Structure 1
Amino acid sequence: MHSLIRILVVAAALACSAAVRAAPAGQSLVADAPYRDLLDFHGAPRSPTDRSFNIFFDAGAWQGYSLPRAGDAATGFSGPFVHSLGTGAWAGMRFAGLALRDAGDGRRLVLKEVASHAVPGALVRVFSAPGLSVRQTLFFADSWHALVRIELQSGRARDLDLAVTGQVMPLPGSRLASEGDMVTQGFAGSPSRLDTQLHAGGADAGRAAVSGNGYRIGLERPLHLEPGKVATVYVVQTLRYDARTASPPAIDYARAWAANRARWAAYLEAVQASHLSGLSDGLARRVAAKAVVTLIGNWRAARGDLRHDGVIPSYSNPDFNGFWAWDSWKHAAALAWFAPDLAREQIRAMFDYQAADGMVPDCIYLDRADDNWRDSKPPLATWAVWEVYRATGDRAFLAGMYDKLVRYHRWWFAARDHDHDGLAEYGSTDGTAIAAKWESGMDNAVRFDGVAMLKNGEHAWSMDQASVDLNAYLYREALDLGRIAAVLGKPRDASAWQAQAAAMKSAIQSRMYDPQRGWFFDAKLGRPGLVRVYGSEGWAPLWAGAATAVQAAAVEKTMLDPRKFATTMPFPTLAADDPHFSPVKGYWRGPVWMDQSLFGVEALRRYGYAAQADAMARRLVLDAKGLARGQATFRENYDPLTGQGEQSRNFSWSAASYLLLLRMDAGAAEPLRP
């Protein structure tokens, strides 16, 4: 059944592609109209490091492009932005400019802009001149090649001299040169290279010419247009991360656009499952489609020391051009439902660097010298792997990951359980408290203000408190490892994991819950005291299924208290009545982080509070400013009092969280039994 659906989707996409080829260039891409201009991709760089506007990436490419600024009617696109140059830099100002002349009288044709849009998987610009229509469609054939498909349609027979032009960013040490019909751009201190070529099927491209920061590539012979028929030429730009060794695949120009449409049709097919009670399906699907566009826009292919593809946190932030562990787990859980191959790659990318003792590093980069081994990140890897299995039924993937997940799970208790009581602590490899706080993912959370560090062994230190979220995640890991073991035919393993989960559940309920306050807290080591800070970690045991029904009822009341967590945009990471509450600049001291809010909604749903969960979920969708009905990007976090987005734009785990929030079949209502 699934195969038949996929065949029908691909067939529909191909039919759409054929219709586009036959239609006048001014006609919109009808199939993409519901999701046209989800984000505003207009902009032009004012400096090499300008990230003030959105950039279009796809297919894992490390180069990206934008539509020119609104009002800039000149042909072509802004770019490229090369994300693998240091922390990212604009290598080009304008790509695929178009110069047309009548081959008979030599007159230049002046093109007027008709439309300029972004659709999922492409940027589209439409132009006209007397008796002529022109469409430029920028898309990616794969992670190496950006193509601009130029379609020309004339009302009469005519011959045109055609050339494409470009302007590069004047980067120090940048080298622009022509090699026959190709323009190359090299970069100081980097083995990377950009190659630009013109492809016109039977019409040969002429020689490329370079002048200053500009270049021009023209057809050797005039392009003949038949009345009413579409003639197509391509501009291709190839980024070789290491030109000394890179061997990009050949491009199948005849099929590249159809393949792009089929891939995006499959992505958007998954969006149709988006639903939230009390919200129109159209609005839910629009938010989900924006999430898909965001996640795919942050997809980066294996290059350098990154051995598998993955999704970066945000191209809009220069600090985020690598893969982070707990970001990766959240990305994979969402990707599993529309891009499962990428979900598997994302997980494998992090486990490529698993240490001999089982540790997975905090983050990895193109250059492994930049990887952070001072800490790990919260253990949600098994949850992500199980989500991939739930979405795909891929037993082979489970088999390939099981031993790695077991080693990672056991590492936590070997390196982060100072008093060997079966409850773990966040910590670091270098003994610093800052790295231990990073390991929690909640860097400056109030609950960590007074921590001290305790040495467990060589390169292994713990905070002097066991964190409730960490142990809820580890409890959930034990459950999921047991389920994986059962699928793989390992009954003894499954029984052992169930026993461990039962012991952890008992410990969490008895030692980390305050019955007077009705909340779960971190527990100090060596004494019975709790760290009584009301934070989002308090509902982690509900998300994991580790709370009793009575405990869950008390936590639910606090979660829905408008003085604490039921704020305008609900579920801040610190209770709103805490004296340290800082909703805008507090980072983890009050803003809404969507992963924690997602877990909050799923926590309520797991314990039977479905109506309350739906009400909070609707507020998360509708009260994030500009997200559902405007062109606002997904932000790193949000002001819980106003819904204003803060910190990094185009943030992947926020996109992933919203996608999961709107997928009923990917939610946390799945039964969990220790």
Structure 2
Amino acid sequence: MRPLIKPLILAATMITACGAYAAPAKQSAAQYQDLLDFHGTPRTAADRSFNIFFDMGAWQGYSLPRAGDVGTGFSGPFVHSLGSGQWVGLRFAALALRDAGGKQDIALREVASHAVPGALERRFAADDLDVRQTLFFADSWHALVRIELSAGKSRDIDLAVSGGGMSLAGSHLDGNGDVVTQHFAKASSTLTTQLHADSAMTGRATVSGNDYRIALDKPLHLDAGKPVTLYVVQTLRYDAQAEPPAVDYARAWDANRARWAAYLTSTGVSRLAGLSDDVARRVAAKAVVTLIGNWRAARGDLHHDGVIPAYSNPDFNGFWAWDSWKHAAALAWFAPTLARDQIRAMFDYQAADGMVPDCVFLNRADDNWRDSKPPLATWAVWEIYRATGDRAFLAEMYDKLVRYHRWWFTARDHDRNGLAEYGATDGTAIAAKWESGMDNAVRFDGVAMLKNGEHAWSMDQESVDLNAYLYREALDLGRIAATLGKPQDQAAWQAQAAATKSAIQSRMYDAKRGWFFDAKLGKPDLVRVYGSEGWTPLWAGVATAAQAAAVEKTMMDARKFATAMPFPTLSADDPHFSPVKGYWRGPVWMDQSLFGVEALRRYGYHAEADAMARRLVLNANGLAKGQATFRENYDPLTGLGYQSQNFSWSAASYLLLLRADAGESGRRLP
């Protein structure tokens, strides 16, 4: 049976989009070998104890075998679209080589195994024989292993590949010609494996229990010094009825290298005063690898591609709203097509009243409509425009952004005073806290819920970060309106922004304490908890110069926020401060720390911003020089990482932290 996959010219789909002020320094994959440790062999189907390699939005991933395992091939695959994700095989593309007519397999010894951005690479050797295996993705459907054989003398070799090994209830393999197909219980997904050689050869597939083998039907001839290339391809269909695109084997690897060269070249602008460029670019490259590793293509009820929070956490196999806004703002500078789709993926589910749900999944029945998330969508869209100049995308998104912005004041402004509150559709305080994104923040300990209307409830507390975000949204909507030639809209947004700014300055700032706080509804009381929300008005540009000066002093107080790894989400001298297990009661979350650095920059505190940014890079345990992954949050006192590994918004925040051209309050290079 001939391969199911037909030739197709494959082009690189992502284009770097760097700022115009300076050409980025060229970077290469070889510079960033083993940024992360991708070695591991699963002990169970749910094992997430090591890093997994994904690319191109694929829902299947692979790893290098654990250190000390010198057998050929790769660990996997891990199929992320089955439930919350599971390993469906222990080994993929293991090789068996034998001289034609011989009785013993050729013993291959491992020479090297490495991960480079965009690929896993292995090299083996035997007498007069060199073998290279390179695993990469041709697109979101197809994982390829490129097998290169070079002989020191002319010889004919029998070749076979094998795989499988993971026992799963209800899963079974069948072989048909040169194709092995794996079926899964209670799922329409299938995984097919083929061996692709030249047109004069085909494979024969055999299946035994959980294992399979595909052998060439005749010997492979090797001429001395003339490499021969074959491919093993594994194709994951989420829906068995879907027909994947074809692959051009001859061009797929070159397209992969070109795409990754563009990604990495975009990191050449990464820098920070007082930090070596090599360190800055290494962290930026690790951020790119992390974001692309969490990219998932449109499947099921996800209608556009996007980036999940972290494949390392079984709860995170969908798209979350405010994660998406942050991902898109960073992706804009090196993968703008994905950045635009990340925004679209959430707005595909915008409700008639303008609400955008908290999160969306492969199965829409799992989507969370109990709450939304903080309004940073317009900021992200404007960042995409700044990176790309894509006016058509602004036009596409404008009305949707307007509806979302207005929804906050329709559904979340209980007393109709122009200052909004976090809330929920079901009236529960827990969903309202989720809507803030800071689920268990101390400032929400005493909230009560107030009904605004059908499926619309508010906390009895106006949050300063929410209203600072809404102020920034109004400004950005005005900029978009101006760009689209809508002067009346621009004027209206500017007027709204001015009113919001005045209300925040007068209602939410405590001059005696020099900090911005949440305000209780119907009372003059402020919720006097020193948290990261207090510098959001500086990030948004709300504060007066005097207010900013007072906030800066508190931010730079080592007893409060200028900790070893700044800036914690709760002041370090608060009695509720819990830097290890506090979640939003003390750990450093990188989005808030990024906003803190940008807040200082916006008001001219550049030396202070640089000093705090350097701490964030250098004091995060193992991040700058080791193989540590980006973590969900960090201990502000020790720099140890906690919660999920390979966390996308931390990667996005570091990428933006180090880009001189990202963020309006960022550095401007000559």
What TM-score comes out, normalization by structure 1 length? 0.95
Name the counterpart of 1:609: 605
- Runs of 5+ consecutive residues of structure 2 not aligned to the other structure: 1-11, 19-26
Name the counterpart of 1:642: 638
Deviation at 1:206, TM superposition (A): 2.4
Deviation at 1:670, TM superposition (A): 6.6
Q: Tell which deviates more after alignment, 323-332 or 196-205.
A: 196-205
- 2: CA distance between counterparts of 1:159 and 1:6? 43
Q: Deviations over 1:107-138 (max 9, x none)?
A: 32000000000000000000000000000000
Deviation at 1:169, TM superposition (A): 1.2
2:121 equivalent to 1:124: yes
- 2: CA distance between counterparts of 1:555 and 1:332? 29
- After superposition, residues 563-642 of structure 1 pair within 5 angstroms as 563-642=559-638
What TM-score comes out, normalization by structure 2 length? 0.95
What SS class does the counterpart of residue 649 from structure 1 fall into? coil
2:662 equivalent to 1:656: no
- 1: CA distance between counterparts of 2:314 and 2:576? 29
- After superposition, residues 451-600 of structure 1 pair within 5 angstroms as 451-600=447-596
Name the counterpart of 1:204: 201
Q: Which one scores higher on RCO, CA 8 angstroms, separation ≥ 6?
A: 2
2:149 equivalent to 1:152: yes
- 1: CA distance between counterparts of 2:185 and 2:359? 26
One of 44, 47, 50 as aligned partner of 1:50: 47
Give aligned-pair identity as a percent. 80
2:211 equivalent to 1:214: yes
AA aligned opposite 1:268: L
What SS class does the counterpart of residue 644 from structure 2 fall into? strand
One of 350, 354, 378 as aligned partner of 1:354: 350
Name the counterpart of 1:171: 168
2:308 equivalent to 1:330: no
- After superposition, residues 80-479 of structure 1 pair within 5 angstroms as 80-243=77-240, 245-479=241-475
- 1: CA distance between counterparts of 2:87 and 2:286? 25
1:203–1:219 CA contact under 8 A, matched in 2: no
AA aligned opposite 1:327: D
AA aligned opposite 2:37: D
- 1: CA distance between counterparts of 2:266 and 2:492? 37
1:322–1:365 CA contact under 8 A, matched in 2: yes
What SS class does the counterpart of residue 661 from structure 2 fall into? helix
- 2: CA distance between counterparts of 1:545 and 1:31? 38
AA aligned opposite 2:319: F
Q: Relative to 1, partners in 2 of residues 1:6 and 1:523: Cα closer, same or farther, differing over 3 Å? A: closer
What SS class does the counterpart of residue 228 from structure 2 fall into? strand
1:543–1:668 CA contact under 8 A, matched in 2: no
What SS class does the counterpart of residue 90 from structure 2 fall into? strand
2:312–2:645 CA contact under 8 A, matched in 1: yes
- 1: CA distance between counterparts of 2:376 and 2:387? 17
Deviation at 1:33, TM superposition (A): 2.0
Deviation at 1:370, TM superposition (A): 0.3
AA aligned opposite 2:146: R
AA aligned opposite 2:449: M
1:624–1:643 CA contact under 8 A, matched in 2: yes
- 2: CA distance between counterparts of 1:206 and 1:612? 64
One of 44, 61, 64 as aligned partner of 1:64: 61
- 1: CA distance between counterparts of 2:627 and 2:314? 22
| Cα RMSD for the two superposed structures | 1.4
2:29–2:260 CA contact under 8 A, matched in 1: no
1:203–1:221 CA contact under 8 A, matched in 2: no
AA aligned opposite 2:589: W
Report how many residues are paired: 646
Deviation at 1:175, TM superposition (A): 1.2
Q: Relative to 1, partners in 2 of residues 1:383 and 1:346: Cα closer, same or farther, differing over 3 Å? A: same
Q: Relative to 1, partners in 2 of residues 1:31 and 1:656: Cα closer, same or farther, differing over 3 Å? A: closer
AA aligned opposite 1:171: L
Q: Deviations over 1:402-437 (max 9, x none)?
A: 000000000000000000000000000000000000
Q: Relative to 1, partners in 2 of residues 1:277 and 1:510: Cα closer, same or farther, differing over 3 Å? A: same
- 2: CA distance between counterparts of 1:472 and 1:234? 53
Deviation at 1:203, TM superposition (A): 4.0
AA aligned opposite 2:233: V
Deviation at 1:212, TM superposition (A): 1.5
Q: Deviations over 1:445-492 (max 9, x none)?
A: 000000000000000000000000000000000000000000000000
- Runs of 5+ consecutive residues of structure 1 not aligned to the other structure: 10-29
Q: Deviations over 1:499-536 (max 9, x none)?
A: 00000000000000000000000000001100000000
